[in-house]
Amino acid sequence: MDRTLVVIKPDGVGRRLVGDIISRFERRGFKIKAMRLFEFDSKLARDFYSPHIGKPFFPELENFITSGPVVAAVLEGNKAVDVVRSMIGDTKSFEAASGTIRGDYGLGYTDNVIHASDSTESYARESKILFPNL
């Protein structure tokens, strides 16, 4: 079985969408291997989003991800990275298809409700940052 990481962002937590979002993954057959509620501080945000430091959108991303609580989960299932990425939809919520998580719940580019690892390598790096004992 494969694993991937999702982070329900502050807009998703603030809008009380955690249950709806997690249930979509469970109904699809994914198992939750770990889950936690926490808040990113600036150091953790910079570690987690290190591939984006220096890009024009990074300051907005850092400000947004540190603006409130998030829920992170490690999901396990067949072709986890690819299936979860398909389920969440395009990064820009206004371009995401209806029926995807971002298409149904996202409001913009940064405030797009959810992050998901985009590769097995990203999952390995990101999960070690958020779940070091897993």
Instruction: Give whole-number Cα distances, 57 to 39, 69, 75, 81, in Å.
Output: 20, 21, 28, 24
Encoded amino acid at 106, one letter? G
Q: Are 30 and 126 in contact (CB under 8 A)?
A: no
Residue 115 has φ and ψ, to the nearest 5°, of: -115, 145
- Which residue is listed with tokens 């400000």? 63
Catalytic residue among 115, 116, 123, 127: 115
Grouping H, G, I as helix, E, B as strand and the rest as coil, residue 123 is helix
Residue 40 has φ and ψ, to the nearest 5°, of: -70, 135
Q: Is 52 a catalytic residue?
A: no
Active site residues per annotation: 115
